[in-house]
Amino acid sequence: MTDNTQPIVIAVTGLNAIDSPGPGVAVIRAIRDGLNRPVRIIGLAYENLEPGIYMDGICDKTYQISYPAAGSEVLYNAIKYIHDIEKIDVLIPNFDAELYNFITIAARLKALGIHSFLPSFDMFDARDKLNLYAFGQKHNLLVPKDKVIYNSNELAQVGDDFGYPLVVKGKYYDAIVAHTLEQAQKAFYKISAKWGLPIIVQQFINGTEVNIAALGDGEGNATSIIPMRKMYITDKGKAWAGITLEDDALIELAQKFVEATQWRGGFEIEIMKTAKDELYIMEINPRFPAWIYLSAGAGQNQPAALVKMALGEKVLPFTTYDVGKLFIRYSWDLIVDISKFQQFTAFGSL
């Protein structure tokens, strides 16, 4: 039985609330708003300028951890070190690139008493950009055609097959729409320099961008589904404003995905809705989106529900949400004393 007077210690990554934000700050806000229990939030940051480290009322303490490239053993040792001090109850990773390591060590962390609510490797791989088209074919879901390439020489052939424009995507992040072979080559080098190979080239679909934030219970049921249309999109393709929608077809699509994968945890489906109302799945992100605080605002607090589910509590599926609820992101200059920056930089915690 959970002691409701003791704070639940929750470790969260993704504190980079920047122009292309990680979801961590939004996840923490939602948990603080909706868990109705005392919490102690432990931030896990990769960089010393992630705003969530310094924002008031977000993290109670933050530790610096190594980049995912350091491997799962380094990550395990870091988390164990932090756990020895903080006694973490629940851990919520929020980056695609770190999830492989966190899934790898999930069982060992559970043995230490650290709960998580993550997909299995099979679930994780099914929606991987590299496998998404095959996944769509298997489950009768619309996914644009794609081609995985390792060499820019392959672009000309893909361009002939798909026609222009086409979309050049990185394995984890970034997507650039290319209207010519030259633009496609430039995008290939730009993205591969940042995220490595392979590169995914995807057929371009014209339509309205709609996203869904959802939470699967790991048994084929969706605990929560919130569809949102991007109202304002930044030059990096990120939603700067969005609005919740009422659309049964979108809800059914998310339910179908959860049923097919038995998804455990939060995820986001990026959809292009065509003029003919076709719903093309462009990407499925294996974690909460940066706009997840809207789920709390609309009446389905997904991060708070995930914490309860990670702790083994039964959470009944949400049945209603507010349609027409908007989020509007904003920038805010945080004034930080050099001593705090120095403390985090020199000692790796604040």
Partner 1 sequence: MNRAAQSTQTQKFKPMIKKNIATNEFGFVFNPATGDSFSSNPIAAEIIGLMKVNNSLNEIKKTLLEKYDADKMTIEKDVDDFLQILKENNLLNN
Contact footprint for partner 1 (CB under 8 A): 208, 229, 231, 242-247, 323-324
Pairing of strands 8-13, 90-92: parallel
* Total residue count of the chain as it appears in this document: 350
Least separation in angstroms between residue 209's CB and partner 1 is 11
Cβ proximity to partner 1, 128 vs 247, nearer residue? 247
What's the rounded Cα separation, in Å, for the pair 193 and 69? 15
Contact (CB, 8 A) for 180 and 121? no
Give the bridge partners for 12, in sequence order.
43, 92
Least separation in angstroms between residue 90's CB and partner 1 is 33
Nearest CA to 213 out of 298, 137, 95 is that of 298
What's the rounded Cα separation, in Å, for the pair 284 and 257? 10
Cβ proximity to partner 1, 60 vs 247, nearer residue? 247
Cβ proximity to partner 1, 57 vs 324, nearer residue? 324
Distances (CA, A) of 282 to 31, 128, 132, 142, 150: 29, 11, 9, 9, 21
Least separation in angstroms between residue 136's CB and partner 1 is 23
* 3-state class (DSSP) for residue 253: helix
Least separation in angstroms between residue 30's CB and partner 1 is 21
Cβ proximity to partner 1, 203 vs 244, nearer residue? 244
Cβ proximity to partner 1, 247 vs 259, nearer residue? 247
Sheet holding 90-92, edge to edge: 61-64, 39-45, 8-13, 90-92
Q: Name, in order, each residue with C-beta under 8 angstroms of 56's C-beta and a sequence gap of 6 or more.
A: none
Q: Which token pair is 2?
A: 């959970």
Least separation in angstroms between residue 34's CB and partner 1 is 24
Cβ proximity to partner 1, 323 vs 334, nearer residue? 323
Least separation in angstroms between residue 228's CB and partner 1 is 8
Q: At what angle do helices 181-195 and 155-162 cross, to 10 degrees?
A: 120
Least separation in angstroms between residue 189's CB and partner 1 is 36
Cβ proximity to partner 1, 312 vs 324, nearer residue? 324
**Cα-atom radius of gyration of the chain, to the nearest Å?**
20
Cβ proximity to partner 1, 181 vs 231, nearer residue? 231
Least separation in angstroms between residue 116's CB and partner 1 is 33
Distances (CA, A) of 38 to 10, 60, 335: 11, 12, 27
